[in-house]
A = this chain, B = another copy of it.
Amino acid sequence: MPTSRGRDVGLYPCERGTLAVRCLNRRRLRSYRESRNGNGVMTNLSIAAVSGIPDVQAGTDLAKAIVQALKDNNLQLKHHDVLVVAQKIVSKSEGRFVNLNDVKPGEQALALAARCRKDPRLVQVILDQSNRVVRCAPDILIVEHKLGLVMANAGIDKSNIGVFPDAQMVLLLPEHPDRSAQQLRCELQKLVQQDLGIIINDSFGRPWRLGTVGVAIGAAGIDCTDDRRGEVDMFGRILETTVVGRADEIASAASLVMGQGSERIPVVLVRGLGPSQNVSPALSMVRKSAEDLFR
């Protein structure tokens, strides 16, 4: 997957031959120049809720459901639109459910559960998804997920996942969120014949700051980071250290309209970002421990 600065956007193999993407590289460059205001930045964004997505279940065709909902919302996709999709519906469509009734907690899970006052079976599932425990305290269990993401409860959720009378279901993250994003992008592009970006977002708590914010855990067709090093400021001074976490900013922007509760807005359309130049996967935004000087 091309990530180095200066290389043109790589198209995923599955896109080859589809009508919409044949001339994309050339079109991207042209429309990149047109869409920016001469100073390398977009000037306007619109962020629209895509409501009316039906309850997603294992096997639901997300691309079809999204296209139908866009139609119902009178929204027509354009080149370089970015769809931000809630992790929850991606996980559900991929059947990432675990029935706690089928889980037998081990010793470590039992000990941790006593400390964090959570269901030992849930703690076992969290451990199964994690590399290590970062923090355990009453009501709190923060781990490093196997994907490298540091998050509460390994991103495992009990809300908005459905009604299961004979089971106690919880929902895991997608197994490979970048792959999920890539697949959804391919399917959507086939349906709408437009060059799209996809972000799968989730809400993360943070060190030092209260409140969760939207974070990109999966992405396709997107510059996840925007490396501004080497550019000049408005007085000609060279920027030394600015790498922008662009995909996370988009994920946060979308979270503002997505909501957390009963809103049923798991998809948000972000328009105006312009074409991507140096596509990278969302998991490339995870800092390596050795390079993490912020903790």
A contact set with B: CB distance below 8 Å: 37, 39-49, 51, 134-135, 137, 139-140, 142, 149-150, 152, 158-163, 203, 205-215, 224-226, 228, 231-235, 237, 239, 241-246, 248-250, 252-253, 255-265, 272-273, 284-287, 292-295
Smallest distance from the beta carbon of A223 to chain B beta carbons, Å? Answer: 10
Q: With A and B bound together, what is the CA distance between A295 and B293 in angstroms? A: 12
Q: With A and B bound together, what is the CA distance between A212 and B243 in angstroms? A: 6
Whether the Cβ atoms of B244 and A41 lie closer than 8 Å is no
CB-CB < 8 A to A259: which residues of B? 39-41
A-B contact pairs, 30 of them (CB 8 A): A37-B49, A39-B262, A39-B264, A40-B262, A41-B263, A43-B48, A43-B265, A45-B46, A46-B46, A47-B272, A142-B294, A150-B294, A158-B237, A159-B237, A159-B239, A162-B235, A207-B207, A209-B248, A210-B243, A210-B285, A211-B246, A212-B245, A228-B261, A231-B260, A232-B261, A232-B262, A233-B261, A239-B260, A244-B255, A250-B256
Q: With A and B bound together, what is the CA distance between A43 and B242 in angstroms? A: 32
Whether the Cβ atoms of B210 and A286 lie closer than 8 Å is yes
Contact A206/B261 with A47-B46, A249-B256 known, Cβ cut-off 8 Å: no
CB-CB < 8 A to A150: which residues of B? 207-208, 294
Q: With A and B bound together, what is the CA distance between A235 and B262 in angstroms? A: 8
Whether the Cβ atoms of B210 and A225 lie closer than 8 Å is yes
Q: Most chain-B CB neighbours within 10 Å: which of A37, A44, A263, A294?
A: A294
In this complex, what residue of B is CB-closest to A273? Answer: B256
- Secondary structure at the A interface, as helix, strand, loop or mixed, is loop
CB-CB < 8 A to A206: which residues of B? 206-207, 245, 294
CB-CB < 8 A to A160: which residues of B? 233-235, 237
Whether the Cβ atoms of A51 and B43 lie closer than 8 Å is yes
In this complex, what residue of B is CB-closest to A249? Answer: B252
Q: With A and B bound together, what is the CA distance between A152 and B47 in angstroms? A: 31
Whether the Cβ atoms of A248 and B256 lie closer than 8 Å is no
Whether the Cβ atoms of B205 and A294 lie closer than 8 Å is yes
Q: Most chain-B CB neighbours within 10 Å: which of A211, A246, A260, A287?
A: A211
Choose one: B258, B265, B294; the contact of A135 (CB below 8 Å): B294
CB-CB < 8 A to A243: which residues of B? 210-212
Q: With A and B bound together, what is the CA distance between A162 and B235 in angstroms? A: 6
CB-CB < 8 A to A263: which residues of B? 37, 39-41, 234
Whether the Cβ atoms of A40 and B210 lie closer than 8 Å is no
CB-CB < 8 A to A41: which residues of B? 49, 257-259, 263, 265
